[in-house]
Amino acid sequence: MAAATASLAITPSRAAAAKVFADLRTGELLDSALDRHADDLDARDKRWVRELLYGTLRQRGWLDALLESRVRGGLSRLDDDIIDLLRLGMYQLLFMRSVPPYAAIAQTVELAKRRHGIGASKLVNAVLRRLDRESAGILDTSPESLGARDPVDALSIRYSHPRWLVARWVGRWGAEATQTLLERNNTEAPLTVRPFGIVREQLEATLDAAGIETEEVGLVPDSLILRGAGSITEVGSFRQGLFFVQDPAATLVTQYAAIPPGALAADLCAAPGGKALELSRTAGHVIASDRSFSRMSLVTSNIERLDVKNVSVMIADARRPAIDSVDAVLIDVPCTGTGTFRRHPDARWRLRISDLAVMAALQRAILSAASQVVRPGGLLIYSTCSLEPEENDGQIENFLSSNPEWSLEPPPTGAVPATVLDAGRLRVLPHIHGVDGAFAARLRRKQ
C-alpha cells in the first residue's frame, strides 16, 4: 500500500505548473508567477516546468481545438482549472518526448482528483487516454476539420493566436508573412547578451573558456547569442558585470536614438534598465526613472552589478516627469507588446482589442509630458515593442500634427542597418528580421 501511495505523489514541477496557471487566470504575469512557484525547485526541474508552461501557452489554441471534440459537451462546460490541467497533460503527451505517456496521464489525473475530486479525475483520465490512443498523426490534423471557417480562422487555430489579432496582421501583411510571424512567435527566443566594459571578442573568449557556446548577431554585430549557458546568474562573467541580457531589437532602439556624446539623457520608462545602460555608453549622464518601485530594483541591481557610474535612478511616473530641460529623452512606453509574444506567450491570451485604445491614451499622455522636459534643440525618442499602428505611426503623426515645434529626424547614417529603417523611423519586425518587434521615432525640438 505504501508503494501505491508513493506512486501517486505529484511531482513538485507539475504542482508548480498548476499553481502558475491558476495565477495566470487572476491576471498575474507568467514570469512573476513562475519565479514564485518554481523558486524552491532545483535547476533541472525549473527548466522542465518552464518548458511545460511556455510550450503549453504557445500551443494553447491548438490544444483547445484538438480537445474540443474529445470532451463531451465541449470545453465550455468545464471548470477553467480543469481545462488548464487538460492542456498541461496534453502538452506533455504530444510535445514532451522525454515524458512517458503513463506519467503524463497519471500525474494529471491525480492533480485533477486533489483539486476537484474523483469525478473530475475520471473525466481527465478518459480524455487523456483517448488522446494517447489517437496521438499518432494528431498534430497533422487540419484546422478545417476542427471547424476553421476561413484562412484567418485556420491560422488562428493552427498557430494559437487570437483570431482578431491574426485578422489584423493578415490585412496588413498578407497570409504568408503572417504565418511566418505566428511560427516565430511560437519558438523559443535565444539568449542574447551585450558586452559591457569589454569588447565582444573578449567576452566571447571568456564565455568559451567557461564552456558556453556563442553566436554572432547579424543586426547587432557586437551582441552575442549564448547556447548552453544554463542559469545565467551562475555564469562567472555575468557576476563580474561583463555583460547584460538584451534582445537585438531593444539594442537597435538605443542605437537608432544616437544620443550625442556627453549629453544629459533621461529614460523615463526605464525598467528593467537595459536601454538606460546602452545610453550610458555615450551619454554624459543618464537619469533612469520608472513608476514601479519593484521593477526599478532590477535597474538598480544591474547598475550595481555592472558598476555603472553615470546612471542615477528615481521613482517617477512618466506622465509627470521629475526632471526639467535635458538634452535627450527616451520613452519606451508601456504597450500591448505584440512584438514580444515569443518571450511572453501568456500575453497573447490576456490581450483584448480594447487594450489598444487604453494603451494609446496612456502613450499620448507620456509623449506629451516627455516633450515638455526636452530642451530647445534636444531629442525625444519614442519607442514601443508593439507591432500595432495605433501605438506606433499613429502616435507620431498625431503628435507632429499638434506640435509644429517638433520634427522627425532620421538617425545619422550607419547608426542602424538600413534594413530596419522605414521613412526615418525604426521598424523591426519578427517575421522579417528574426528578433523581437520594435518601433521608434527620433524627434527633434526646434531651437
Angle at alpha carbon of residue 84, lines to 80 and 90, rounded to 5°: 140
Name 302's Cβ contacts closer than 8 Å, sequence gap at least 6.
Answer: 244, 272, 273, 274, 277, 308
Q: Are 181 and 168 in contact (CB under 8 A)?
A: no
**Does 385 participate in catalysis according to the annotation?**
yes
**DSSP 8-state code for residue 57:** H
**Grid coordinates standing for 11?**
511531482
Name 13's Cβ contacts closer than 8 Å, sequence gap at least 6.
Answer: 38, 41, 45, 48, 49, 52
Helix (H) or strand (E) holding 370: helix 354-371
Q: How many residues in total does the chain contain? A: 447
**Grid coordinates standing for 411?**
538617425
**Strand runs labelled E in 237-345:** 243-245, 264-267, 285-290, 311-315, 326-332
- Which is catalytic among the residues 385, 426, 440, 441? 385
Instruction: Count CA atoms within 13 Å of residue 220 on its CB side.
Output: 25
List of long-range contacts for 211-219, beta carbons under 8 Å, 24+ apart:
215/190, 217/192, 217/248, 219/248, 219/252, 219/417, 219/419, 219/420, 219/428, 219/433, 219/435
Please list the active-site residues.
Answer: 385
